[in-house]
Structure formats: C-alpha cells, structure tokens
Structure 1
Amino acid sequence: MASSHLITKTRIKNLLLIVIGSILYATSVNVFTVPNGLSEGGLTGFSLILFYLVDIPPSYTIFIINIFILAIGYKFLDKKTLQYTLVANAIISVMLLAVTRYQFIPETTLLAPIGSGIFMGAGIGLIMLGHGTTAGSDILAKLLEKYFGINVPTGLLLIDVCIVLPSAFIIGAENVALTLINLYIQSKVIDFVLEGLNPRKSFFIISEKHIEIAEAIENQLGRGITILDGKGYFTKEKKEILYIIISRREVLPIKRIVAALDPNAFMTISHVQEVTGEGFTYLSPEMQAERITEAEEDWLEE
C-alpha cells in the first residue's frame, strides 16, 4: 500500500513538472520568440519557420511532427519516458494555443533572447526532470547515431544548425545571431535546472609526489581523497592515482597545489552531475524513498 502511494506521488510530481515546464516552454515561444521575430533550434525552430512563411500555428506543427517522429523512433525511448513524452507533447501544444495573451517586445534587443532562453531552458529542464522529453530532435539525433554513426550531441547540433542558419533568409541575419544567443542561454539554464546550484568536479591526479599532494589538499581544503592502484600499459609501472570530488570553487586551489608540488603531474578534471555521501549533501529519507520508488516503478512497468 505504501509503495503504491509513493508511486502515485511520484507520477503526480512528474506530471506537475511536465505541466509547469510546458507552460514555460509555451511562454518562451509566444511571449518572447515569436513577437521578436526570433527562431529556435530543433523542430520548434522548424515550426516557427513554417509559421513565418505560411502562418501555420506552431502548436499544430509541433504536435503533428512530434507524433510522426515518435511513431518512427518510439523504440529509442523506454515505456515510461514515452508515456511522459506523449503527455508533454500534448500539453505543450495546448499551452502554445493558450498562452497567447502577452507579448514582450523590449527596447533593448538582447532582452528578448535572454528571456526566451531562460524560459525555454527552464521549461525543457523541468520536462526532463519529469522524465519526459520534447521528442523531435532527441529522437532524430538517435536515428542519426544508429544509421550514420553520428553521436547524439553532434546530431543535435547538426539539426539545430540545419534549421537555424537557413532561417536567416526568413528572419534576417541579426535575428539569427540573437537566436544563437537564445540557444546558448537555453543550454546553460537546462544544465542549471538538471544539476542544481553547486555542480561538482572530479580530479584524477597521477604524480610521483602523490602523498605530498594528498596531504596538501587534505590540510588546505579538508577534502577526502581516494588512492587508486594503477598501472601504465606501456611502461608496466605501477602508479598511485589520486581521485577527488570537489566543488567548483575548489578547482583553482587544487590546480595550484598540484602545480606547486609537481609541475609534471598528469591531471584530468571532469564534470560530476551528482554526488551523495559523506562530505556532500545527503539525500533526505523522503528523497531516498522516492528514488527507490522510481526504480520500483521502472521495474514494474517493464
């Protein structure tokens, strides 16, 4: 009974995120993008080109084209994501028809792409948090990967370029430049929504002076460090590897420590999406239960 209650609660939360995200998505298009003659990437951009050319409302083209693409590429989505994506697609289309009362046409040109990017990025981010997608470009990118060997990020970029650049003949070069600003802001806002305020970084450090480096990091920053056993493929020499997860503001101090103690140290820095455990934010019991419930929900739906 408790598990069923949590599953229902999780679904309600996901649907709420998708609804809010869809409202923000529609607000971006109808309040900021269209009134200022801007475009978008992906299928939203394609629908806007049709709107500017033949005055077909974007809500219709987005819904119809996404349904067509989902029919072709549904196998690339798991059952739950497919369901939420269908819901998101329907709600976005409805909201694009509903959110039409207000328009924001600023005197300062840059405010339009900034507003559009913030609202669209937040909308897409919330839809993704709700386990949905905006379909369209995501599925097309996966089709490109399957049949042409193009990885998904590159595929998404190609789709955006193929839509945004030709739109210069319709909306003008200046508005295309503003659209690119919009897309950049979108990507940053999506990252912010999905990853939160405090993204983490991970360090791998290989150095002959790994003990001195570890001691300096522990003494100066108070961070725990894991020492991994490694072995060079070419030299066959065993190496001690330092592995550290830190906050973004600690990146520069660690780089300075390593450079001061061993300028020849091999070091990589990677982005970490989420960290839980000692020294970082613990999940609340409610969040732990929700994570477990989502996993159970996935298992039950398979």
Structure 2
Amino acid sequence: MKSIANKETAKNMMLIIIGSFLYAISVNVFTVPNDLAEGGLTGFSLILFYLTKIEPSYTIFICNIVIIAIGYKFLDKKTLNYTLVANGIISVLLLVVTKWEFIPETTLLAPIGSGIFMGAGIGLIMLGHGTTAGSDILAKIMQKYLGINIPTSLLLIDIFIVLPSVFIIGTENVFLTLVNLYIQTKMIDFVLEGLNPRKSIFIISEKYDAIAKQIETQIGRGITLLDGSGHYTGNKKQVLYIIISRREVLSIKRIVEAIDPNAFVTISDVQEVTGEGFTYLPQEEQAERITEAEEQGLQ
C-alpha cells in the first residue's frame, strides 16, 4: 500500500511540475510579451505588473497564500497540500522561464498559444489533484455565502478582472484576451476528459446519501436515485445516477473517494442529452414548441 501511495504521489508531482511549467510558458512567453491579460488571480497579478513592474510570481504567491489561508476549509487535505506545492512551483518557474518570448506577426497566434499552454497547464495540475488556488477557492466562497454556482462565480471573477484591464492594455488586447480565455476553457476540458461533452455516472455505495448531498452542494447537479439489488446476495442497494459535463467528472470522483473509497463507480460517454439543465434551445423557442405540442394534442 505504501508503494502504491508513493507511486501516486510521484505521478501527481510530475503532473503538477509539467503543468506549472506550461503555465509559466503561457504567462512569460505568450501573455506578457504581447501585453495580454488573464482571468482570475493571474490576471490581477498581470495588471499590477503592467502598472508597477512587480513580478507576477511574487503577487501570485502572496495572494494565493492569503486566499488559501482564508478558504482552506473548502479544500480537502490532499488537494490543499498539492495546491500549496503547485503554488510554490509556479512562482519559482515564473522567475526562471524568462529567456523566451513569442511576438508573432499574426496577432491571433499569441492568445491561441497562451490559451493552449495555460489550459494544458491548469488541466495537468488538476489531474495531479492540485488547483491554482485563487479563483477556485473564491468561487467556492461565493457559492457558499452568495448562493452563486461555481461556473457563474468563475465567469464573474474573470469579467471583474479582464474588463478593467481595457484601460491598461487597450480594447484590442482585451478582445484577444477573451480569445485566450475561451481556448483555455476548451483545452482544460480536453486535458481532463477528452472530446466527449457529457458523461453519465452510476455510483453504488452504502454512503449514497452523504455522496448525493455533497454532489448537490458542490456541483449543483440533480441526481436520480434508483432501487437495485445484488443478484447473488439479494441485498438491496441504492444507485445514484447523474449526467454531468466532463469538467465535473474530476470533482465528483474526488467527492466519492473522500466519502467512500470502496464505492463502485462507472463513468460512460453520453451521445446526446436533452431536458432540464441540458437543453440547448433558447427558452423562447422551448416555450413555442411546448405551445405547439399542446395545440396539436387538443386537435
């Protein structure tokens, strides 16, 4: 067991180191030389850098430590430890990776490169059970005290950081930054879960109620409770069935692992999902279709 734990720790550390290196390349090679901004705490650090020339590594390290101290209870011990490690490595690499810069003739190449490297870096850090702290913890605090779900909180934080930067880097570079953020999101999704946009999860555990409550609280997804029984033993079992986006898979796996490491979990690709929480039609068009269906039913 100790050998397995050591291998897992080594694997997570390797992912965090590689992810942090890609993160540093994104900031120092693509973002800063082309006067672009970023979302979250990195964006705040870059604004300070453009105004005062204080190195982003110092700002990121200090601000992350403060945020972690305030919101440490929102992270489990394992994630907290890896987050502290990631924060330290990122801060050091931001000071080390300074010899290269990429200033392309084609303007769009800078935000594309920045988005790919940053998204891949953050994705690898998350795969290593770490986070980049900052925005993640702030989003969880906003969810608890303001009732705003995590994706919306992250978006609001990015908007709050990026929009004021128009007065520092200019309107054109702000739009290029939005391209960067969009590519980051897609790259994180790809690193974490590949190309399939939706997943279905079955969870069988005696602690199903505790798992369901944590998923509803932290992820905000509805859960279907199914009745089941073991064929051989005949024992009654409760089965949780959930449809989620691929970005939520890692969070749910961590919740289940923390509550019941022995839980039986299956994760499958979903070809298509419609209905509450997954309908892609605008509300107006949904209403029109419902009205048409009702009228046809009366005829």
The normalised TM-score by structure 2 is: 0.68
- C-alpha separation between the residues in 2 aligned to 1:7 and 1:120? 28
1:35: which partner in 2? 33
- C-alpha separation between the residues in 2 aligned to 1:50 and 1:273? 30
Amino acid across the alignment from 1:156: L
Instruction: State which of 129, 142, 145 in structure 2 corresponds to 1:144.
Output: 142
2:133: which partner in 1? 135
Contact 2:189 2:246 in 1 (8 A): no
1:61-117 deviation line (CA, Å, top 9, x unaligned):
000000000000000000000000000000000000000000000000000000000
- C-alpha separation between the residues in 2 aligned to 1:187 and 1:198? 14
1:200 Cα deviation from its structure 2 partner: 5.2
- C-alpha separation between the residues in 2 aligned to 1:26 and 1:80? 24
1:73: which partner in 2? 71
Instruction: State which of 109, 118, 121 in structure 2 corresponds to 1:120.
Output: 118
1:162: which partner in 2? 160
2:231: which partner in 1? none
Change (3 A) 1:14 1:108: same
2:85: which partner in 1? 87
1:145 Cα deviation from its structure 2 partner: 1.1
Amino acid across the alignment from 1:173: T
Aligned residue pairs: how many? 216
1:101: which partner in 2? 99
- C-alpha separation between the residues in 2 aligned to 1:201 and 1:56? 43
1:198 Cα deviation from its structure 2 partner: 4.7
Percent identity of paired positions between Structure 1 and Structure 2: 76
Change (3 A) 1:160 1:8: same
- C-alpha separation between the residues in 1 aligned to 2:69 and 2:246? 34
- C-alpha separation between the residues in 2 aligned to 1:271 and 1:78? 22
Contact 1:44 1:62 in 2 (8 A): yes
1:273 Cα deviation from its structure 2 partner: 6.9
- C-alpha separation between the residues in 2 aligned to 1:270 and 1:144? 21
Amino acid across the alignment from 1:183: L
Matched, 1:8 2:17: no
Amino acid across the alignment from 2:171: A
Runs of 4+ in 1 over 4 A off after TM superposition: 197-202, 269-275
Amino acid across the alignment from 2:3: H
Change (3 A) 1:113 1:194: same
Amino acid across the alignment from 1:41: G
Change (3 A) 1:34 1:149: same
1:154-186 deviation line (CA, Å, top 9, x unaligned):
111110000000000000000000000000000
Amino acid across the alignment from 1:71: A
Contact 1:84 1:131 in 2 (8 A): yes
Contact 2:20 2:93 in 1 (8 A): yes
Contact 1:199 1:274 in 2 (8 A): no
2:281: which partner in 1? none
Amino acid across the alignment from 2:17: V
Change (3 A) 1:191 1:47: same
The normalised TM-score by structure 1 is: 0.67
- C-alpha separation between the residues in 2 aligned to 1:106 and 1:125? 25
Give RMSD over aligned pairs: 2.5
Contact 2:82 2:130 in 1 (8 A): yes
1:38 Cα deviation from its structure 2 partner: 0.0
Amino acid across the alignment from 2:101: Q
1:262: which partner in 2? none
- Look up the SS of the partner of 2:142 in the other structure: helix
Contact 1:200 1:274 in 2 (8 A): no
